[in-house]
Amino acid sequence: MRNDLEREHWTTRLGFILAAAGSAVGLGNIWRFPYITGEEGGAAFLLIYLLFIVIIGYPVMVTEMTIGRKSQRNPVGAFKALGGC
């Protein structure tokens, strides 16, 4: 019987890269609103939006990936291990 707190591993590095690329393509939909706003004269908004993506989004993404790789558990198990519960 499989323990629910254990995580499956990527069998190949290519699999991980393809999954990350698929996620990035899905996240490409986020660009529609800023693009339309920029086209209509909201370039200042677009610059602030990109700044926040870099300042907030990137560190959060790296932190989540680091926690997942270090704990080798599913999201709930990873945060339980991190919190010491």
Burial class (CB in 10 A: 0-12, 13-18, 19+), 13: exposed
Q: Write down the domain spans for the chain.
A: 13-83
What's the pTM? 0.51
Walk along the chain (85 residues) in steps of 10 and give the mean pLDDT of each run. Answer: 63 82 69 77 82 86 85 81 73
Instruction: State residue 29's pLDDT score.
Output: 60
Closest CA to 65 of 7, 2, 25: 7
Q: Are 58 and 69 in contact (CB under 8 A)?
A: no
Amino acid identity for residue 72 in this structure? Q
Instruction: State residue 85's pLDDT score.
Output: 60
